[in-house]
Copies of this chain bind each other. A is one copy, B any other.
Amino acid sequence: MPSTSLDSIRIEIEDALADFVKGKTEKLNRTDEFLQPITKSLAEYILDGGKRFRPTFAYLGFLGAGGIASPKIARACAALELVHVCALVHDDLMDGSDTRRNRQSIHRQFQDHHRDSKYVGNSENYGASVAILLGDLSLAWSDELLYLSGVEQPQLNQALPIFHEMREELMAGQYLDVLESVRGESNKVRSSKIAQLKSGKYSIERPLQFGAALAGANSTLIDDFSNFGLALGEAFQLRDDLLGIFGEPNVTGKPSGDDIREGKRTLLIALTLEKCNESERRLLEISLGDKNVESSKIAAIQEVISRCGAVEECERLISELFDKAVANLDKSVCLDEIKKLLVDMAKAATQREK
């Protein structure tokens, strides 16, 4: 096997996305010139930034199962990023988030475009409509890119059930997440279960299994990747919980304390509510989900979450889960050269600042 690095995988995935998006943009612009604002915006969104965790895990799952790298595989793995773009565009709309990857979210871009163009009707509705349609388009494209990847049918047929499962788990997990925030109750068991569906499985376990299936892996490796991916996925989500409260806005591309504003019932919040006193609890409960919460309150809540020991416990859990994931990986039948890259990815997923 030629030597592979995370950088070279990243380049292959970027190239696959860029090629696909270029073809689509040209085709749609030829269909109707009025489509230019959306093709431009969606192309920029897809191509500009993003950690590419899901396609990278998929690619590593493929290589770890003994597959030989090729542009076909890069294209198939890149399809997962288009699912993710749908999830992000729609998530930002549902959460009313203004920014993503340090840029305006899609619905805000088109809300402004409506206002600046002096269009008739409601700018917010227009922004929301465009975001809905562009998320849908990206989701439809994910199938098309996978289909057009050039991966031979028997391999594709092994991977498609995992692809379908992953998308269903994502939507179900997103719904449960939204439900949990409106139910206004924090519960460690529920928080963990939801995090597992919408993040652990979707971001790590399923992509790894998808890649392994593309290489025709047997069930032993598929199970091994589950053992690695679920533990790592939980750690990944806990890091997300911490970044959602303490992340640096200019690094995360999201405002500070964003999860408080959005009322996210994360495991970090559940741990905090277990540990804090009654008045701190009241502060947290009235602030969670308050879109206009003052920055002084966010600072006070950050202080509560740190002081009560929830951050420490979260960091301890991340570290334990990381160790468990790596130990599971060690025992796995994944190729050794790829194990090293997966450990690097595990570090990137759990020690990241965005």
Task: Please list the residues of chain A having a beta carbon within 8 angstroms of any beta carbon in chain B.
Answer: 28, 31-32, 34-35, 38, 86, 90, 93-94, 96, 114, 119-121, 125-126, 128-130, 132-137, 139-141, 143-144, 147, 153, 157, 160, 164, 167-168, 171-172, 174-176, 178-179, 181-184, 193, 197, 263, 289
Report whether A120 and B35 are in contact in the complex, using a CB–CB cutoff of 8 Å: no
Q: How far is the CA of A35 from the CA of B289 in the complex (A)?
A: 22
Report whether A147 and B135 are in contact in the complex, using a CB–CB cutoff of 8 Å: no
Specify which chain B residues have a CB less than 8 angstroms from the CB of A119 in the assembled complex: 182-184
Specify which chain B residues have a CB less than 8 angstroms from the CB of A120 in the assembled complex: 181-184, 263, 289
Report whether B178 and A263 are in contact in the complex, using a CB–CB cutoff of 8 Å: no
Report whether A263 and B121 are in contact in the complex, using a CB–CB cutoff of 8 Å: yes
Given contact pairs A137-B171, A164-B147, A289-B120, A178 touches B126 in the complex (Cβ within 8 A): yes
Q: How far is the CA of A172 from the CA of B28 in the complex (A)?
A: 8
Q: How far is the CA of A94 from the CA of B129 in the complex (A)?
A: 5
Given contact pairs A133-B178, A147-B160, A140 touches B168 in the complex (Cβ within 8 A): yes
Determine how many copies of this chain the complex contains: 2
Q: Which of B114, B137, B174, B263 contacts A182 (CB 8 A)?
A: B114
Report whether B171 and A133 are in contact in the complex, using a CB–CB cutoff of 8 Å: yes
Specify which chain B residues have a CB less than 8 angstroms from the CB of A94 in the assembled complex: 125, 128-129, 132-133
Q: Which of B28, B129, B132, B176 contacts A35 (CB 8 A)?
A: B176
Report whether B164 and A140 are in contact in the complex, using a CB–CB cutoff of 8 Å: yes
Q: Which of B114, B139, B182 contacts A126 (CB 8 A)?
A: B182
Q: How far is the CA of A137 from the CA of B173 in the complex (A)?
A: 11
Report whether B171 and A136 are in contact in the complex, using a CB–CB cutoff of 8 Å: yes
Q: Which of B130, B137, B139 contacts A140 (CB 8 A)?
A: B139
Instruction: Enumerate 18 A-B pairs (CB-CB under 8 Å) in ascending A order.
Output: A28-B168, A32-B176, A35-B172, A35-B175, A94-B125, A119-B183, A126-B182, A128-B128, A133-B174, A134-B171, A136-B171, A137-B171, A137-B172, A139-B139, A140-B164, A143-B143, A143-B164, A144-B164
Report whether B167 and A140 are in contact in the complex, using a CB–CB cutoff of 8 Å: yes
13 additional A-B pairs beyond A94-B132, A121-B182, A136-B171, beta carbons within 8 Å, are A31-B197, A32-B176, A35-B176, A119-B183, A120-B182, A121-B289, A129-B178, A132-B132, A137-B172, A139-B139, A144-B168, A153-B153, A153-B157
Q: How far is the CA of A32 from the CA of B38 in the complex (A)?
A: 37
Across the two chains, which residue of chain B brings its CB closest to A27? B168
Report whether A96 and B121 are in contact in the complex, using a CB–CB cutoff of 8 Å: no
Q: How far is the CA of A34 from the CA of B173 in the complex (A)?
A: 11
Specify which chain B residues have a CB less than 8 angstroms from the CB of A31 in the assembled complex: 172, 197
Q: How far is the CA of A121 from the CA of B184 in the complex (A)?
A: 9
Across the two chains, which residue of chain B brings its CB closest to A174? B133
